[in-house]
Structure 1
């Protein structure tokens, strides 16, 4: 009869962890708590839970679900975590966390670091959005901003201008901001100055149309909070 030893249970209860994550996390501006959440996300995926909630993660760490949610947002802001979508049966869409951006960061050959004035602005843009929305951004909203910056190559300054335009139009939602950015891109607008000129022209045209139609003129003075700033 084979005797069961504790180490046999240990051998069966393994989690494969990339060595570079443990040896280089500090060089990528990751905290110990962020690493723990990454490991929990990895563990959850291995047991078939691909989009664990902050509550579920908090059950296995020493900090609460609110801090877990904040760490998830931060990992997405750092572009180390993403939410992917898969087309399931009956036109349903399955969503799951993906650590692929982190693995790519750890294992892809890195170019020599260069000073990038947009990188700090990219991090600050998340703070600005949360201030304007008056709440933390959802993972999906963070992913949208990351797509604007990384895939659509929108400059943070231009995203900031689109956010201000949405605020002043009283249409503070991501769909409207996305529409503004797409419209500017279609018209070849690549700088804040070009966006400002285009918006001034648009609002002046709108004001003239309202006057012609003998309708009450909308107060557009607010637009110049950003349209005339230097």
Structure 2
């Protein structure tokens, strides 16, 4: 199917490489070399060698070796009887492998969930001002947690907590640490030797 779409020129792999290069962890030089190799493959050039690539590039032989070595390690190319070949080039460009995104909770959603109602525009602006004045989202959410524990769900109370923590130098209220193990001194008394 991919070959069919490419043959119909529905997919332009060269443009796709240029647009997705950064996302695929490719440097500009690596993209350039891959484009050269793909061009030679399209022109049915059977023996693509580093010296051939050097003729069409401004890179030094040392830089070319470094880039080809990097592309080999990233499995974009492979060596077949001294010739450079692309390794599943089209599939790699077309695959949609998104990194697992950590679900970060939206702070406004957390407030609305805890308050049990949508926030008013003024409340929304107040929270925005806290962030702009230097409070981290984590700190604001911890202040909200403190307000929920105290069963006082007002932004004024939460702001009071933040101000109190800032004045007293408290950076984080709830430090997630393992409780320190209680150390008991070892006794070297051998009770069985007293007899």
TM over 0.5: no
Q: Shorter chain as normaliser: what TM range? A: 0.3 to 0.5
Q: Which has the larger radius of gyration?
A: 2
